Amino acid sequence: MQYCLNCGAEVYLNYCPNCGQKVTVKRLSAKSLFEELFYFFTHIERTFLKTLFEFILRPGVASLNYLKGKRKNYQKPVSFFLIWTGLYILFHNITINYFHYLPDRVNPALAAIKEESNELLRSNFTLFFLPVLFVSAINIYFILAKPRFNFVEITALCLYGAGCFNALLFLGDVLLGFVFRININANPVFIYQTTIAGSYNLWFCFDFFKKLQLRFFWSRLLLNALFVSLFGWMVFLYFPYWWLLLTR
Ligand SMILES: [Zn+2]
């Protein structure tokens, strides 16, 4: 008879029936650390990147799989969102500082506060992203998902969508800012990002909700994409600016 080293339960097979720990846990050695390192990277390849590709290329199937309980192959939604948001904003800031990309200056009187609000947005990106995520979930829930799916399920899908969106922004920064040396802090790039947001939202919702045979499907789809893009645009463009005006 073997006992689990983690919780003490009796174990008959390779994994503890109570807590799930492997039976063959040994004392830590250099080999086990290397094994963990190796596992981390192969694991990232298997779940983290797979989650990304699946939710970009076939978001409908991936969403249904996840909601119906086929979850082992996917990174969990909150960590997926946080990791991509972190990676994107880290890389964005490094690129902007390294190549000295400055924001467009339209009006000299506004330039200072514009730059300051840009800075505020970049250093608190996740904070500004959350209302966009929340409003997107509300939009999708009321316009497309109700009553087939509940609000929390839609929020989980929005976390995947937002994670993929930030991964796409990350990719855009790498290509435009790093490879082609285009100023990624200027308005044209911002418009390009809004376009990505709108079309990815449309693609995600189309691929997922087309299975439900909704009435007025295309009108609802377009209305939702329009609302989500407009609100996102407003938040990223004006919220930091209003924040500064209100707090001084
Ligand atoms: Zn156990």
Closest among 96, 237, 58, 77 to 160, alpha carbons compared: 77
Segment 79-109, tens digit of pLDDT: 999 999 999 999 988 998 898 887 776 666 6
In this prediction, residue 105 carries a pLDDT of 65
- Identity of the residue numbered 188: P
In this prediction, residue 198 carries a pLDDT of 86
Distance 30 CA to ligand 1 centre (A): 24
Segment 26-35, tens digit of pLDDT: 778 888 888 8
Residues composing the chain:
248
Mean pLDDT of 211-230: 90
Report the SS3 class of residue 195.
helix
Segment 180-200, tens digit of pLDDT: 998 888 777 878 888 888 899
In this prediction, residue 36 carries a pLDDT of 84
User: What is the C-alpha separation between 80 and 141, in angstroms, rounded?
Assistant: 21
Name the pTM for this structure: 0.84
For the stretch 169-202, what's the b/e string if a residue is b when 16 or more beta carbons lie within 10 angstroms of its beta carbon? bbebbeebbeeeebbbbeeebbeebbeebbebbb
Distance 17 CA to ligand 1 centre (A): 7
Distance 3 CA to ligand 1 centre (A): 8
Distance 48 CA to ligand 1 centre (A): 27
User: What is the C-alpha separation between 85 and 83, in angstroms, rounded?
Assistant: 6
Report the SS3 class of residue 70.
coil
In this prediction, residue 224 carries a pLDDT of 93
Mean pLDDT of the chain: 88
In this prediction, residue 107 carries a pLDDT of 67
Q: How confident is the model at residue 206 (pLDDT cuts 50, 70, 90)?
A: very high
Segment 130-172, tens digit of pLDDT: 999 999 999 999 999 998 999 999 999 999 999 999 999 999 9
